[in-house]
Amino acid sequence: MTGVARRTLFAFTSGLIASVALAGCTSSDAIVTETPLPTTPAAGATTSASPSPSATALTDEELLTLLPEGATSDTPQGATIAAEYWIGELASAFDSGDPSLVAAFGTAECSYCSTQAALIADLYAGGQSLSGGAISPDLTTASSATSDDGFTYVSFDASIADLITISSDGQPQATSSGGTRRWGFQMVFTDGLWRVNGVEISAS
């Protein structure tokens, strides 16, 4: 991954993105998806459109076994639990370099999901790694509702710890300061489980 792409990933985690309010969404409002990909990669740089697939992709039945209790309920509460699980998998992917579940629990329309997964996979494939980036949701701030458009919208505050990029020789390269942001999710219930269809991050 290029330095430009890394810096953009850091910008995402520190919340330096446009503020958009999810609470005002209606059936005619599409969720805004913010992505950290650079618009113009450095010369000679490449970024994959999606993370390298695992040798054996998980089936929906296998994905269901990974979800916490209540996350498969076709209710706004179930969508909230599933969104909390997904954000935890994103934090785990920062640490492990394996974003497969981040992508698996996102729909094909969730460009944010596939972009994050691709950036993490590319960074680790290039010999670098990430440290930190733990995400702590505050579900006391959660709100959720099913809209006339058929999607369920979930939002809650979550704090993210500082995220450090580590070079291939084990040296810290850059640090992105964490903070608390409002995370919004457009959720869709298909094949017995919730998937993330869009992600929005704004000032809390």
Annotated domain spans of the chain = 3-21+69-203
Instruction: Name which residue leads in pLDDT, 44 or 134.
Output: 134
Q: What is the pLDDT of residue 58?
A: 76
Q: What is the pLDDT of residue 204?
A: 80
Model-level pTM? 0.75
Q: What is the pLDDT of residue 111?
A: 93
Mean pLDDT of 144-166: 96
Closest CA to 34 of 1, 10, 12, 6: 12
Query: Confidence class of residue 177 from pLDDT cuts 50, 70 and 90?
Result: confident
Look at the domain 3-21+69-203 and name its fold. Answer: Nuclear Transport Factor 2; Chain: A, (3.10.450)
Classify residue 132 as left (phi > 0), alpha (psi -120 to 50) or beta.
Answer: left
